[in-house]
Amino acid sequence: MIALVDCNSFYASCEQVFRPDLWGTPVVVLSNNDGCVIAANKEAKALSEIPMFEPVFKIKKQLTDNNVTFFSSNYTLYGEMSQRVMNVLKTFSPQVEIYSIDEAFVDFAGMKYSSLEDYGHCIRKTVYRSTGLPVGVGVAPTKVLAKLANKISKKFAHINNNVCVIDTEEKRIKALKWAKINDVWGIGGKHAKRLQNIGVFTAYEFTQLPEEWVRKNMTVVGVRIWNELRGTSCIEFKTLPKPRKGIATAKSFGKKLEDLGMIMEACSYYISEVTEILRAQKSCATYLQVFLHTNYFSDRDKQYSKSITITLAMPTCDTFVLIYEAKKALELIYKPGYRYKKVGVCLSGIIPQEYVQGNLFHAPPKWNKNELLKTFDAINKKYGKSTVFSALVGTRVKEWELIKEDRSPRYTTQWKELLKVKAKKNLQKTEGF
DNA sequence: TCTGGGGTCCTAGGACCC
DNA sequence: TCTGGGGTCCTAGGACCC
C-alpha cells in the first residue's frame, strides 16, 4: 500500500503557522512580482470572487473588502518547512518519494501498523505536531488511486478527518464512481474534454473503456493511468531523486527594462543560480539557451521575443564560462528600443561531471578539483546566497529584482527574522506565540 | 500601472547511417 | 509503370504535473 501525503493549502498554511492571529481567516499567497494569486487557504477559497491565478490588480478590491491577508511568496520559508515535513514522513517509512514541495508518496511495504487508517492518522497528527502544518493522507494500492484517496480525504475531511483508505474492491469502485474524469491525476484539460465528448464523465467510466482506445488516443501514459485506476500498479516508486534534465530560471523584471547592461546583470545572476544547482548535483550542461521578451499582455508596447541556443565547446558547470557565453548570446538577440519584461536562461544536455568527454586539444576538466568553484560554493553556503558573485552581476541597484511588497519574515532561516515572542498582560488576547 | 515559474514524459517526423 | 529495408539520434510540440 502507498500513501500520498499532501499539505493543505501549503503556502498559505506555512504563513499561518507563524501567524496564529490569522487562524480561521482568509489568506492568499501571491506569485513572483505579486502578479497572481497562487495559493489560498480554505477560508479564502470559500470566497468565490477570489479565483486562483487571477491577476492581483483585478481583484485587489475584493481582497481588501473581504479582509483577506495576502503575502508575497516566501520560497525560503516554504522550502524549509517542506524539508521538515519530509523529515517527519521519513520516520514512517524508509521509502519516501518526494513528489513536490508539498507532497510525498510513502510506501507502507514492510511497515508494522494495526490498521491503515490508524497509521494514516498517526502520520497526520505527527506532521501537525512537529511542523504546525495540516496534511491529508490518501492510502491505496497504486499511486493514481492514492492520489484519488487523498483528494477524497480533503473533500470529505468532516467525515474522515483527512484520511482516506482505498483497500477493498468495494471502496475502489465507490471512489471511481465518485471521481470526475478531470479529478484523475494525469488526465488534464485536453484529455478530459475529449473523454467527455465520447460520454466518459467519471473515473469509473474511463476504466471501462477498451485498452486499445486508451492507447490510441492517450498514448502509453493514458494506459498506465487506466491500469493504475483498475488496481494494477505500473508507475514506478522513485525513492532517489533523479538528477535534473534541465535547469531553467526566468523571472519577470520588477519593472520594464530597455538597457542591455541591466538585462545582462539579471541574466548573469540567473546563470549563477542555475550553475549552483548544476554543481550541487555534480553535473555539467551541454547546451545553454538564452531568451528575452517584452510584455505579451501589453497592447501599447511594441512586441519582441527571441531565443538562442548555444552548444558549448565542452560541457561545463563553470559559472564564469557560462556567464561569458550568455553575455555573447544576449548581445546577439537583444534589439534596442523595446521595453523588456523577462530574460531567461536554460541549461540542458545535462550529464554527470565524470562523463564529460575531452577533445583533441583539451582533456576534460577535473571539476572536483576546481578550487575556485569549490571555494565559491563553500563561501555562499556558509555565509548566504550571493556573498561572493561574479562582477558581471554588478553592484548597482538591481532594477530587475522581483517585487515582493508583502513578504513575511524568513522565520526559519535568518537570525534577524526570528519570530518575536511577546508576553502580554492580558492572556485572553494573546497575539503571536 | 499591474498578468508566475519550474519541471516531466511521449510521439512524430526529419536527418542521417548502412 | 516501376523506386528497399532496417536502424539511430535529435528536435519540436503536445500533454501533463506542482
Q: Would you list the DSSP string of A384-397?
A: -TTSS--GGG-SS-
Q: Are A6 and A127 in contact (CB under 8 A)?
A: no
Taking the C1' atom of every nucleotide in all shown strands and the CA of A286, the nearest one is C10
Backbone angles phi, psi at A366, to 5 degrees: -95, 95
> Does residue A187 reach within 7 angstroms of strand C, measured from its CB?
yes
Taking the C1' atom of every nucleotide in all shown strands and the CA of A190, the nearest one is C15
User: A312: Cβ–Cβ under 8 A, 6 or more apart, which residues?
Assistant: A285, A286, A287, A288, A321, A325
Taking the C1' atom of every nucleotide in all shown strands and the CA of A251, the nearest one is B5
> Does residue A147 reach within 7 angstroms of strand C, measured from its CB?
yes
Instruction: Give chain A's end-to-end CA distance (angstroms, integer).
Output: 39
A181 CA from B2 C1′ (Å):
36
Closest C-alpha among A59, A62, A76 to residue A18? A76
User: A19: Cβ–Cβ under 8 A, 6 or more apart, which residues?
Assistant: A69, A408, A432
Q: Which residue spans within A317-381 are E strands per DSSP?
A: 340-348, 351-352
A364 CA from C10 C1′ (Å):
24
Q: Give residue A364's identity as a one-letter amino acid code.
A: P
Closest C-alpha among A320, A313, A309 to residue A348? A309
Closest C-alpha among A65, A64, A77 to residue A13? A77
Flag whether the pTM goes above 0.85: yes
Per-residue pLDDT of chain A in tens (433 residues, 90 and over written 9)? 999 999 999 999 999 999 999 999 999 999 988 999 999 999 999 887 788 888 898 888 889 999 999 999 999 999 999 999 999 999 999 999 999 999 999 999 999 999 999 999 999 999 999 999 999 999 999 999 999 999 999 999 999 999 999 999 999 999 999 999 999 999 999 999 999 999 999 999 999 999 999 999 999 999 999 999 999 999 989 888 888 889 999 999 998 999 999 999 999 999 999 999 999 999 999 889 999 999 888 888 888 888 888 888 888 999 999 999 999 999 999 999 999 999 999 998 888 898 888 777 788 889 989 999 999 999 998 988 899 999 999 998 898 988 888 999 999 988 889 998 877 666 555 454 4
Q: Using alpha carbons only, what angle is made at residue A320 by residues A317 and A324, rounded to the nearest 5 degrees? A: 110
Angle formed by the axes of helices A116-131 and A75-89, nearest 10°: 140
> Does residue A191 reach within 7 angstroms of strand C, measured from its CB?
yes
Q: Which helix (H) or strand (E) holds A167?
A: none
Looking at strand C, which nucleotides approach a protein CB closer than 7 A? 14-18
For residue A418, the tally of other CB atoms under 10 A from its CB is 12
Query: Can you give the pLDDT at residue A111?
Result: 94
Q: Which residue lies nearest B8, CA-to-C1' measured?
A: A245
> Does residue A277 reach within 7 angstroms of strand B, measured from its CB?
yes
User: A200: Cβ–Cβ under 8 A, 6 or more apart, which residues?
Assistant: A181, A206, A209
Q: Which residue lies nearest B2, CA-to-C1' measured?
A: A57
> Does residue A337 reach within 7 angstroms of strand C, measured from its CB?
no
> Does residue A222 reach within 7 angstroms of strand B, measured from its CB?
no
What nine digits make up the cell of A376?
A: 565559491
Closest C-alpha among A239, A238, A231, A240 to residue A1? A231
* A103-107: strand order across its sheet: A96-100, A103-107, A2-7, A135-140, A163-165
For residue A73, the tally of other CB atoms under 10 A from its CB is 22
Taking the C1' atom of every nucleotide in all shown strands and the CA of A147, the nearest one is C17
> Does residue A190 reach within 7 angstroms of strand C, measured from its CB?
yes
Q: Which residue lies nearest B1, CA-to-C1' measured?
A: A57
A285 CA from B1 C1′ (Å):
39
> Does residue A53 reach within 7 angstroms of strand B, measured from its CB?
yes
Looking at strand B, which nucleotides approach a protein CB closer than 7 A? 1-11
Query: Can you give the pLDDT at residue A433?
Result: 45
Rounded CA separation A137/A165 (Å): 8
A143 CA from C13 C1′ (Å):
28
Considering only residues 95-114 of chain A, list those whose CB is below 7 Å from strand C.
99-103
Closest C-alpha among A152, A157, A129 to residue A140? A152
> Does residue A220 reach within 7 angstroms of strand B, measured from its CB?
yes
> Does residue A307 reach within 7 angstroms of strand C, measured from its CB?
no
